[in-house]
Amino acid sequence: MSKKIDLDDAYNIQTPADNVKLYAKWAASYDVDFAKSTDYILPQQVAQVVHDFSATGTVLDVGAGTGLLGQALYKLGSYDIDATDISPEMLQTAQRKNIYRRLFISDVTKGMGVGNKTYDVTASSGTFTHGHVGPEAIAELLRVTKDGGTVVISVNTAFWHKNGFEAAINEISPHVRSIEIRPVAIYGAAATGAHARDEAFIVIIQT
């Protein structure tokens, strides 16, 4: 029997092509083998922050995966939510949940193929992390967000320190209304193992 995919496999990949390959295999079991078994609460934390800043409107979920952030948002407010991801298989799993208005494949590091200033909120949970997407993609999220809108992303804290997020945020700062950073737990009280106490920053950028 082949070994189940886990977080360390996800953290050890490097390129967008690696992501496509890994998530093609992980899509069917991600919600149970990863999210449920690790008490993964980050999507709910990101959704709550989105709701704190905007209770309605159009939302783009970037790196939507199987749709956990969309599901959490759907419960909290009245949103029109679109999903984008580099993995067709992850988006197929998300589509079956019937919460997204539109789902489309894109590589956020190369451009999402969406017009400027399209969404009230652009949000992302769990995608700015080891082996996935770095600070260079924040500009693309800002580009598709309306003036007066909000970008809400989680960034794994260890990844933040290794990958120049602070410099990227300092560069953006003069061009936006406000930036706030909130530390949160990625996993809940039931989590065990090496990553159980891992944390993320939720970055809130008001455009």
Residues that bind ligand SAM (CB under 6 A): 16, 19, 23, 42-43, 63-65, 68-69, 85-87, 90, 107-109, 125-127, 132-133
Please report, as a single letter, which amino acid is at residue 78: S
Which residue, 120 or 140, is less far from ligand SAM as judged by CB?
140
Q: Minimum distance from CB of 16 to ligand SAM (Å)?
A: 4
Q: Minimum distance from CB of 136 to ligand SAM (Å)?
A: 10
DSSP assignment, residue 77?
A: S
Q: Minimum distance from CB of 24 to ligand SAM (Å)?
A: 9
Which residue, 133 or 203, is less far from ligand SAM as judged by CB?
133
Per-position b or e across 117-147, b if 16+ CB within 10 A of its CB: ebbbbbbbbbbbbbbbbbbebbebbbbbbbe
Longest dimension (CA), the chain: 54
Which residue, 88 or 148, is less far from ligand SAM as judged by CB?
88
Q: Which of 18, 17, 107 is nearest to 62 (CA)?
A: 107
Structure tokens at 79: 């949103």
Neighbours of 166 (CB within 10 A): 13
Q: Minimum distance from CB of 106 to ligand SAM (Å)?
A: 6
Which residue, 46 or 205, is less far from ligand SAM as judged by CB?
46
Q: What is the rounded CA–CA span in Å between residue 180 and residue 100?
A: 27
Q: Minimum distance from CB of 41 to ligand SAM (Å)?
A: 10
Which residue, 136 or 171, is less far from ligand SAM as judged by CB?
136
